[in-house]
């Protein structure tokens, strides 16, 4: 029985269809099966109550509903139009024949409910509007027919039983469809949560491996530095090592945090600056002044920003130190409306104007390229020390 039910529910579901089309096909199958069940009950009822004028209409509508399942295999939107137009064409004459006292008109409530459930999404909103207008026209036509007694058949002897039957059937059909949709939604949510959990585990594993690979690169650079003889080569290797470390630290912080999509950039800056200062081995007297807000940055923004900060702090330790005074570095990170503001300043001699204008320095070219990568606007000044400002989204 369960296998047969699942087969009916998945009627029209195909791998080549989009996810929302497959989901819609399942809901159409549910609505159609509920309608077939209740139309069969209605057919039996009118037969037992000797309503011969309605028996063949109910039987014919029940048979035609199976056509919805067949059409759904090819095109779910066509199946929906067939389903609702069939319902409208059935309910209009039945309402007019049974009259307002039969309460057949209440069947429009489950119809409207299923209509919203099936088409209440952006991909199908135009079809929802069209079918809602057809539903409204049908109701208006029926109300006019009630007023003018179109097609009315005298059912006064059994009007109460008709009223009770129609009210109960309409309420139970709506309830059953709602329950089936809810159970199906819970099942889908369980599957989605499982997939998301698997993706989170996979992403964590990727971050962990990237971090380990970068640590290996850092170790290799350290080994190369130990075998190097020229001081210039050692400095270049140190620069490369710090750049790799700044990227590795991003992945390490994200991996160790609760979120796999962003990191606390305040904590990241403090750790990065501490590591850079440690790499200079106490050869510089320094003071770091932090003015940082607790901000979360995503991976795509964190890595370029980390490289920029690494480059600027390293340059400050290299070129901003002085014999007669300690090096003071100010680091500010704030959120201004929809933008982030980053400022790094030291009390060193700054950059010569000709070097700043020519931008022949690899470090400056790297900083400029990274700033553009995150669509940031940078400004470098060299009055009372070096200052770098960056505004980015």
DSSP string, 264-302: EHHHHHHHHHHHHHHHTTT-S-EEEEEEE---EEEHHHH
Distance CA 86, CA 21 (A): 22
* Dihedral pair phi/psi, residue 332, rounded to 5°: -125, 135
Instruction: Count how many Cα atoms sit within 13 Å of the Cα of residue 336 in the half-sphere of its side chain.
Output: 10
pTM score of the predicted model: 0.58
Instruction: Count how many Cα atoms sit within 13 Å of the Cα of residue 200 in the half-sphere of its side chain.
Output: 12
Angle, helices 108-119 vs 76-98, to 10°: value is 170
Distance CA 290, CA 197 (A): 37
Distance CA 312, CA 274 (A): 14
- What was the pLDDT predicted at 333? 92
- What was the pLDDT predicted at 157? 47
- What was the pLDDT predicted at 39? 92
Question: Counting Cβ atoms within 10 Å, is residue 31 exposed (0-12), middle (13-18) or buried (19+)?
Answer: buried
> 159-168 b/e with 16+ CB inside 10 Å = b?
beebbebbee
Q: Name all domains of the chain by residue range, CATH numbers in brackets.
A: 2-197 (no CATH), 199-392 (3.30.565.10)
Instruction: Count the neighbouring beta carbons within 10 Å of the beta carbon of residue 128.
Output: 16
pLDDT in tens, 198-245: 887 887 788 778 878 888 888 888 888 888 888 888 878 888 888 888
Which among 303, 285, 291, 299 is positioned nearest to 330, based on CA atoms? Answer: 291
Residues of the chain with pLDDT under 70: 154-159, 258-261, 281-284, 352-361
- What was the pLDDT predicted at 232? 83
């Amino acid at each position: 029985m369960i296998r047969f039910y699942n087969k009916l529910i998945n009627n029209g579901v195909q791998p080549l269809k989009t996810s929302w089309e497959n989901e819609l096909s399942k809901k159409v199958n549910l609505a159609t099966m509920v309608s077939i069940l209740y139309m069969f009950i209605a057919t039996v009822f009118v037969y037992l109550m000797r309503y011969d004028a309605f028996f063949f209409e109910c039987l014919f509508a029940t048979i035609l509903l199976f056509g919805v399942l067949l059409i759904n295999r090819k095109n779910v939107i066509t199946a929906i139009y067939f389903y609702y137009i069939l319902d409208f064409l059935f309910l209009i004459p039945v309402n007019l024949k049974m009259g307002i006292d039969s309460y057949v008109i209440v069947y429009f409530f489950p119809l409207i409910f299923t209509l919203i459930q099936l088409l209440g999404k952006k991909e199908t909103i135009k079809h929802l509007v069209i079918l809602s207008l057809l539903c409204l026209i049908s109701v208006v036509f029926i109300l006019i027919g009630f007023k003018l007694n179109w097609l009315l058949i005298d059912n006064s002897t059994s009007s109460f039983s008709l009223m009770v039957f129609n009210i109960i059937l309409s309420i139970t059909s709506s309830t059953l469809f709602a329950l089936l949709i809810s159970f199906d939604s819970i099942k889908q949510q369980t599957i989605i949560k499982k997939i998301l959990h698997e993706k989170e585990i996979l992403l964590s594993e990727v971050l962990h491996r990237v971090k380990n690979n970068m640590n290996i690169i850092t170790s290799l650079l350290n080994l190369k530095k130990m075998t190097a003889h020229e001081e210039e080569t050692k400095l270049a290797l140190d620069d490369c090592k710090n750049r790799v470390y700044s990227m590795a630290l991003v992945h390490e912080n994200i991996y160790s945090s609760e979120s796999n999509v962003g990191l606390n950039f305040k904590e990241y800056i403090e750790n990065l600056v501490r590591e850079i200062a440690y790499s200079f081995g106490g050869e510089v007297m320094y003071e770091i002044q932090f003015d940082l807000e607790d901000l979360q940055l995503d991976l795509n923004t964190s890595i370029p920003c980390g490289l920029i900060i690494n480059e600027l702090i390293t340059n400050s330790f290299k070129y901003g130190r002085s014999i007669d005074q300690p090096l003071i570095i100010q680091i500010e990170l704030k959120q201004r409306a929809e933008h982030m503001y980053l400022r790094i300043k030291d009390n060193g001699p700054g950059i010569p104007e000709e070097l700043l204008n020519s931008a022949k320095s690899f470090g400056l070219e790297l900083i400029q390229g990274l700033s553009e990568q995150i669509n940031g606007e940078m400004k470098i000044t060299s009055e009372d020390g070096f200052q770098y400002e960056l505004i980015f989204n």
